[in-house]
Amino acid sequence: MSEQFLSDSQINVRAPGRALRLTYSKAKQAFLEPVDLKALSDTDVLVETLFSGISRGTERIVYSGKVPESEWGRMRCPHQNGEFSFPVTYGYASVGKVILTGSGVRNTKPGDHVFVLHPHQTRFIVHSDWINVLPENLPDLQTAVLSANLETALNANWDAQSENAERIAIIGGGIVGLLTGYVAMAISGTKPVLIDINPGKEAIARNLGMDFKLSNEAAKNSSEKFDCIFNTSASQHGLQLAIDLAAFEGQIIEMSWYGDKDVTLSLGAAFHSQRLRIQSSQVGHVAPSKRKTHSYKDRMSEAMEYLKDPALKELLNPIVQFSELPQHLDEVLTSETTLCPLVTHSRADQP
C-alpha cells in the first residue's frame, strides 16, 4: 500500500490510477485490496468516494456467509466483484465527487456530488447511467449515504399504498424501519408507531415525529390494531406480532430478508377470519402502483428529496474510517446500538 495515487492533475481517461476496495475473503473476514482502475470509455465517470454507508441487515448476512446459494444471483449488488462463495465485494451506498467524465457524458460533470450503488471503494469507474446527482443545498452530504435505504422505504410505502392507511405501525427500529416510518408519515399525513424491543430507539423515533412502543407492551395491548404494518425486524417474532396487531383486512408488508433462516408462523387464530394479507416488498422492482409511471431513476430522485431534512443525520452511527473498516466490521454489524454505520473516506486511505 505504499504506491501513491496519481494526483488529480495527472488523472486522465487512460490512466485513472488505483483504488482500495473492501473485500470479504471468507465468512467474518475482510481486508482492503488494491485494484487497478480501467481506462474510461466515452460514457464512463470516475468518482472519488467521500462517504459510504453500511446497510447493516443485508451486509451482515453477506459478511456472515449466510446468503443461500439459491439467492446468489438475485442478491448481487451493482458492481459487485466476485461471488457469495467468497471472495466478494458488497455494498450499495457510496457518496462521492465526480473527478473525470468521458467525452459522451451529459448527465454529470467534474465537481458534482453524486450517489452511486457501489461497494465500498476509495475510487471507482461506472457508466454514467449509474450516476445520481445529489439535490443542491443538502444540509449535510453525509446523509446522502441513506439514499438506498430511503429508496427501499419509499418503494415499500408504494407497495402498501400507505397514503390510504389510517393507522400505521413499523416493527423493527433499524435504519430501514425508521426510514420507512419517516416516509410513511410524509406520505400518509398520519403519525406512525415504531415498535421495537430496544427502549433506546424511543428518542430517535420521537425525534423523527413518530410514536413508540416496546414490543412486549404492544403484544400485551393487542387490542390496538393497525391497518398497515411494516415488518423490518428480520425476526419471526416480529412478523407474528404484525399478524397479531393487524386490523380487519389489514396488510402486512414484509421487508425483512431472512437469508437461510426458516420462519414459523401461527396462522390458525384470526388470520383467515380477519382476511389479513402478507406481502413482500423488495427494492429490486418498482412497486406495481408506480411501475407504469416511475423508472428506477425517478424513484431514486424522489427518495433523495427526503435528504433535505437535517434530522436524518442523527441516523448515522457509528462513524468508521475506511482504512480501519476491516477490524471494526464485526462490531458495527452486530451491535444493537448501530443504525447506519458511516464510513468516511479520505486521501489518506488511498494506496
Task: Report the candidate in 66, 257, 265 with the shortest Cα–Cα distance to residue 174.
Answer: 257
Q: What is the pLDDT of residue 350?
A: 65
Regarding beta strands 113-116 and 94-101, do their DSSP bridges make them parallel or antiparallel, or are they unpaired? antiparallel
User: Length of the chain, please?
Assistant: 351
User: Is 219 in a helix, a strand, or coil?
Assistant: helix
Contact 252, 274 (CB under 8 A): no
What's the alpha-carbon Rg for the chain, to the nearest Å?
21
Q: How confident is the model at residue 169 (pLDDT cuts 50, 70, 90)?
A: very high
Q: How confident is the model at residue 13 (pLDDT cuts 50, 70, 90)?
A: low
pLDDT tens-place string over residues 62-108: 999 999 898 899 889 999 999 998 999 999 999 999 999 999 999 99
Question: How high is the mean pLDDT of the chain?
Answer: 92
Instruction: Give the separation between CA 225 and CA 274, rounded to whole angstroms.
Output: 12
Contact 108, 131 (CB under 8 A): yes
Q: Which of 44-48, 118-122, 198-202, 267-271 has the lowest mean pLDDT?
A: 267-271
Instruction: Give the separation between CA 78 and CA 72, rounded to whole angstroms.
Output: 13
Instruction: Give the separation between CA 336 and CA 323, rounded to whole angstroms.
Output: 23
Non-local (6+) Cβ contacts of 238 within 8 A are 171, 172, 215, 231, 232, 256
Asked if residue 261 has pLDDT above 90, the reply is: no
Please, is 164 exposed, middle or buried when counting C-beta atoms within 10 Å of its C-beta (0-12, 13-18, 19+)?
exposed
Instruction: Give the separation between CA 41 and CA 105, rounded to whole angstroms.
Output: 10
- Beta bridge mates, 171: 195, 231
Write down the residue that cell numbers 461506472 correspond to.
Answer: 126
Contact 133, 109 (CB under 8 A): no
**In order of start, what are the domains of the chain with their CATH numbers?**
8-139+310-349 (3.90.180.10), 149-280 (3.40.50.720)
Q: How confident is the model at residue 346 (pLDDT cuts 50, 70, 90)?
A: confident
Q: How confident is the model at residue 264 (pLDDT cuts 50, 70, 90)?
A: confident
Task: Report the candidate in 12, 294, 25, 251 with the shortest Cα–Cα distance to residue 151.
Answer: 294
User: Is 202 in a helix, a strand, or coil?
Assistant: helix
Contact 3, 350 (CB under 8 A): no
Q: How confident is the model at residue 268 (pLDDT cuts 50, 70, 90)?
A: confident
- DSSP type of residue 237: H
Instruction: Give the separation between CA 159 and CA 278, rounded to whole angstroms.
Output: 11
Instruction: Give the separation between CA 230 and CA 167, rounded to whole angstroms.
Output: 11
Distance of CA 121 to CAs 15, 16, 59, 62, Å? 18, 14, 15, 17
Q: Residue range 214-233: average pLDDT?
A: 92
Q: What is the pLDDT of residue 9?
A: 52
Angle at which helices 325-334 and 56-63 pack, to 10 degrees? 120
Instruction: Give the separation between CA 154 and CA 151, rounded to whole angstroms.
Output: 5
Q: Residue range 15-38: average pLDDT?
A: 93
Distance of CA 204 to CAs 212, 214, 314, 343, Å? 9, 13, 8, 21
Asked if residue 1 has pLDDT above 60, the reply is: no
Regarding beta strands 226-231 and 168-171, do their DSSP bridges make them parallel or antiparallel, or are they unpaired? parallel
Instruction: Give the separation between CA 342 and CA 120, rounded to whole angstroms.
Output: 11
Q: How confident is the model at residue 262 (pLDDT cuts 50, 70, 90)?
A: confident
- DSSP type of residue 306: G
Q: Reduced to 3 DSSP states, what percent helix, strand and coil does the chain have, rounded to the nearest 5?
A: 30, 25, 40
